[in-house]
Amino acid sequence: MSDIFRKLLNMLEKGELSIEGFEYLLTPEEKTVWNVLKYKKHALNVNEIREAIIDEFIDVLKKYSKEIDPKTIYTLTRPISRHIWVGKVDLSKEKFDEAFNEILNKGINLENPTSREKRIIADILKRKGIVSIPSHKTIERILENFEKIGVVVSRPDVGGKGKKLYSLNPILAKFMNS
């Protein structure tokens, strides 16, 4: 157990800090990765974490494609729908419509996109200036940093893919509200 994790655990046990208080220390990208692990409540590899983030924006594309104010750039201080994304998002109608139309023109079915199609959607959202979803490498770096301080644990994937599976440290579960 790292010294940082021991201090965090000690503060949590004494009631000097809550999980929400710890979350204030995270960058938007870190908080997004944290939220995926917190929401999913099971071990995930880096690809699955990235796809969970993309899935949130696919839900937004499906739900809000015609309901966005064209002159507003939204800064989401609260996550969108599944309590995952934290960060800036430009949901202006013009950009959103461009992205939505490009996705449809590529023949991507938003109801059940493949992993490859999800990567294409993420690229389109970034290119159109809507949102920059963290890369595989960025998510992996965040998870490795979380693992070093002890808030995330990992294990090899037993499915034979050779990927690491990550989850929130189970010791923290008793301090989580949901």
The model scores a pTM over 0.85:
no
> Where do the domains of the chain lie?
3-175
pLDDT of residue 17: 83
For the segment 48-95, what is each residue's pLDDT rounded down to a tens digit? 999 999 998 888 787 765 454 444 444 443 344 556 777 788 878 788
Residue 145's contacts (CB-CB under 8 Å, 6 or more residues apart) are 30
